Amino acid sequence: MSINASVFADDSIDLQGITLPFARRGPPDAPAVLVLHGGGGPVSNQFALRELSETHHLIAPVHPGFAGTPIPEHFDGMEDLVYLYLDLLDALCLERVTLMGFSMGGWCATEMAVRNTGRLSHLLLVDSVGIKPGRREDRDVADVFGIPPQELINRLFHDVSNAPDHSGASEEDLAVLASNRTALALYTWEPYMHNPKLPRRMHRIDIPTLLIWGESDGIVSVDYAAAYQSLIRDAGLEVIAQAGHQPQIEQPAAWLSAVRRFLG
């Protein structure tokens, strides 16, 4: 495990020839939540997740390629991540797990639930990508690789003062940020941020599902959320005001309230 990944992980497991680092947060006998982070990197140290770990046992892996970890030679897309985490559920003998995914991690979580919900109890998707509801020419998901950095921040956050400040970052930290973008591209680039076959498979999801969305999300809009919701039987949708693509950062209390109501 690299030094950087160790900031977000206190355990690891060998799967598919990969040493996968992950964090454990919260009482070990509490209900389990498998947390899949988005393209911004691990979320296990965020305030809202630490608060949730007071009542739940969070297991939060670091996707291969993020936080200074290597990308396995045999990985070339999202499907590799999906099966890695299905194997993780088996390897850790987890039962009745809440599967929670943020953005890219929500796409991964959806693909997992389409394949097998045998070890899952709930599915919780936060500003997820993964589908393309519009026509070929429509920009359903903002081009996070092509738009200028300040515009990207404006799209990610309702209040840009909530954006992380990298002005004093070390060269090592900047290298990690660059590697995060490389890993994000590996998992999401082609086709961009979606699986064309996924919408016809989402009817297979047979566990309680909730989508939580930032009202001001400029990456994937609330209309995108509604299209996502319509593809999952009986899924709910909670829209959080004054929040962008990361509502757990901008409105942690509202986000936690929605999560706790759902998990009940």
Which positions of the chain have pLDDT values less than 70?
1-6
Sheet holding 32-36, edge to edge: 11-15, 18-25, 57-61, 32-36, 97-102, 120-126, 209-214, 236-240
C-beta of residue 2 within 8 angstroms of C-beta of residue 68: yes
pLDDT at 6: 67
C-alpha span between 165 and 144 (Å, rounded): 18
pLDDT of residue 4: 61
Q: pLDDT digit string (tens) for 189-224?
A: 999 999 999 999 999 999 999 999 999 999 999 999
Q: What angle do CA 174, 78, 10 make, to 5 degrees?
A: 55
Q: Where are the beta strands (DSSP E) in 75-188?
A: 97-102, 120-126
List residues bridging with 59 in a β-sheet: 24, 34
Please report, for residues 24, 47, 72, 92, 133, the alpha-carbon distance to residue 53 in angstroms, rounded to integers and kept in the order given.
9, 10, 30, 18, 34
Task: Give the CA angle between residues 153, 156, 169 to the nearest 5°.
Answer: 50
pLDDT digits 0-9 by tens, 31-59: 999 999 999 999 999 999 999 999 999 99
To the question of domain 3-263 being in CATH 3.40.50.1820, the answer is yes
Q: Is the model's pTM score more than 0.85?
A: yes
Helix 104-115 × helix 171-188 angle, to 10°: 40
In 3D space, the residue among 109, 89, 110 whose CA is nearest the CA of residue 32 turns out to be 89
Residues 261 and 257: their CA atoms lie apart, in Å, by 6
Domain ranges for the chain, please list them.
3-263
| pLDDT computed for residue 176 by the predictor | 87
